[in-house]
């Protein structure tokens, strides 16, 4: 029997104007954006629709913005389409997945990702951390290189295992630069520095993890109605206490996206629906397994095409 997974993008997928046409046509989508504005106490929707881009790119704004747009697309999509068998999200997108699975209420989700963004921005002084995408390297070989560089130059670790041949490393600016310089020795084709505000998904994010742990302790959450494939383990989880623990670990651990997609496929998923800005996950899933169907729902045209399919 065919199974479906809803997947949600993370930071980097944002774009000024995302969700604008959907909200203009569907009152339910606009209502969610208005609720986000109220929950945060400032016009997030105006920033999403009009920019400026520089302000939207700030982590504390990007995270609630992406979640709100994913939620708006999901709200309309689910009016005519059945639910999913699994949910998953890439980094920040895991919170959109938790919203889809009924673990978090919308206002609570918007507020916690705003805090998460602030904690992550503040964890490491500007300029001291970095990230880079390494293309063409084997995971274990790159992990070994990171270990060598960490002991010689500065902390650098695997951050996102996205798909075969695409792994992001994160850590100290010196450590990431050294890995980028030595990447070809590890069989990589090249290493591309990323424009980010911090060394996300590395042990340097420990201060952010501790602050997030405190914030999550008082956040109303419940068991997932749909299994979540967790970034940290690439395994299904429903229990709320385990989800809390994994959300804290996620800040300092690699996002096992390739493994997560393979887990879902092995569990019978043959259709992935990406709900949110951009097409990042669609591209990654196709590189992992070209045999599965991927539906991208990221604007008004793609939403209406998906509803009629």
The residues near 189 (Cβ < 8 Å, ≥ 6 apart) are 135, 136
What are the catalytic residues? 91, 201
Contact predicate 72/61, CB 8 Å: no
Shortest CA distance to 307 belongs to which of 22, 10, 69, 7?
A: 22
DSSP string, the chain: --EEEEEE--TT---TTTTHHHHHH-HHHHHHHHHHHHHHTS-HHHHHHH--HHHHTSHHHHHHHHHHHHHHHHHHHTTTS---SEEEESTTHHHHHHHHTTSS-HHHHHHHHHHHHHHHHHHS-TTSEEEEEEES--HHHHHHHHHHHHHHTS-EEEEEEEETTEEEEEEEHHHHHHHHHHGGGGT-SEEEE---SS-TTSGGGHHHHHHHHHHHHTS-----SS-EE-TTTSSEE--HHHHHHHHHHHTTS-B-HHHHHHHHHHTTEEEEEEESSSSHHHHHHHHH-TTSEEEEE-SHHHHHHHHH-
Burial 278-291 (b: 16+ CB within 10 A, else e): bbbbbbbbeebbee
Cα 101 from Cα 294, distance rounded (Å)? 20
Residues in the chain: 309
């Amino acid at each position: 029997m065919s199974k479906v997974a809803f997947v949600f993008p993370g930071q980097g997928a944002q774009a000024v104007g995302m969700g604008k046409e959907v909200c203009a046509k569907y009152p339910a989508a606009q209502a969610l954006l208005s609720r986000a504005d109220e929950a945060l106490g400032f016009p997030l929707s105006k920033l999403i629709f009009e920019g400026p881009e520089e302000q939207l790119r700030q982590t504390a704004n990007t995270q609630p913005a992406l979640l709100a747009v994913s939620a708006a697309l999901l709200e309309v999509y689910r009016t005519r389409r059945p639910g999913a068998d699994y949910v998953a999200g890439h980094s920040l997108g895991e919170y959109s997945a938790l919203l889809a699975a009924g673990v978090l209420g919308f206002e609570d989700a918007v507020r916690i990702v705003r805090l998460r963004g602030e904690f992550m921005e503040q964890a490491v002084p500007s300029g001291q951390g970095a990230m880079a995408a390494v293309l063409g390297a084997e995971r274990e070989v790159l992990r070994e290189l990171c270990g060598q560089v960490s002991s010689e130059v500065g902390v650098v670790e695997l951050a996102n295992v996205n798909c075969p041949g695409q792994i992001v490393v994160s850590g100290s600016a010196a450590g990431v630069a050294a890995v980028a310089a030595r990447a070809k020795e590890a069989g990589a084709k090249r290493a591309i520095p990323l424009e980010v505000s911090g060394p996300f998904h590395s042990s340097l994010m420990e201060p952010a993890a501790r602050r997030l742990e405190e914030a999550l302790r008082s956040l109303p959450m419940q068991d997932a109605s749909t299994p979540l494939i967790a970034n940290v383990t690439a395994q299904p989880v429903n229990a709320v206490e385990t989800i809390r623990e994994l959300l804290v670990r996620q800040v300092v651990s690699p996002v096992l996206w390739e493994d997560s997609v393979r887990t879902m496929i092995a569990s019978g998923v043959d259709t992935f629906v990406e709900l949110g800005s951009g097409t990042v996950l669609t591209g990654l899933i196709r590189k992992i397994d070209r045999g599965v169907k991927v539906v991208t729902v990221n604007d008004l045209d793609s939403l209406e095409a998906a509803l009629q399919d």
